[in-house]
Structure 1
């Protein structure tokens, strides 16, 4: 098991609001209704997440940018001002490394380059210094240049395995696909995304050697409550605790 399993909440942004994602069917996404907050405004959702647990990172999927109809750059900047201690990972629909490098240079967080948006396989030394690759799958179909899978030696240090068909559907994480991607490049830190239902899934991902996991529905539905996260922290003290903000004490065990 790695030194830590990072627990990373997700904000899916569309038309200025956080939406509930499920199955990758973006035309069906609707404003988020959550047990953690009474609004789908990004600021309210982040406050609700941090009231639940002292997360250190937030992943943002800018769906407008991914769909080619604007972006939420100003929203990201506002969240950064409100929460300077948080690290933001942002999938801004980058078609190549130049756009991602410009995003990072503007101080808008760590750019996530989603395979579904990439036009070609970047050279290994072309990735932004803090760039993250997201390998996007819908069912058995890989979304993006096939060369991304055939040349894993050109991946950056951190890679997300995004299983869109499991997002928001209470289907469980795709451990088989995670293991396959891990075998392709054993030097990368691999993050799982999609399908987490409960604390047992977190434990399974930790045992599988995942570096972290992206979370949304299980948090907003209360299936990963503070007691559940505390239980995971107690069983994996170097995992959940290491992803808490340094300025906030780890939960009592």
Structure 2
């Protein structure tokens, strides 16, 4: 309203009366929403990143000094896990085969193949092949291969169908949640002794009942499987 000399007031345009432009209200609302949405979005992103293959290593195939094919050696030739990973039943680590294990066959087969030159050089120089670890856990995680295979957990449960892998890759995310899924419900994953090293084992329709029986057979104390000290020592 505008004052006239006689004291009367005249209306004026609403836009002229506003201290701030109309879009200022929208901007203020967006800022207020952003103060809440942006931190929550960043928190969600940080939570999601830890499950991405780039972080967990799942599906990633590291380059190796020799392109060893599990598909050929395990799936094609039928070589069992324990032939190369000799310490899997009595040690934390499954172990890697020494060079002379490779040369048991390759001193007679593919003796001049260029792809096997690092193997021949390793034997001649007495230096082990520097394989890159495929499945790697943080230093603060304790994992023992021997107790898992002794209690009926098969190799492919964690390592995937290695007999179909031309080059070895990490099949599982190996996150804490992934491990706890098995520790809280072990009967879904347990196998009889004769199937632990089987490449294509799949649970039968009555796995719940068989798994419960295997828990008793292997004397698994399920009440302690989720204790912190089991994996963090």
- Measured against the shorter chain, the TM-score band is under 0.3
More strand by share: 1
More helix by share: 2
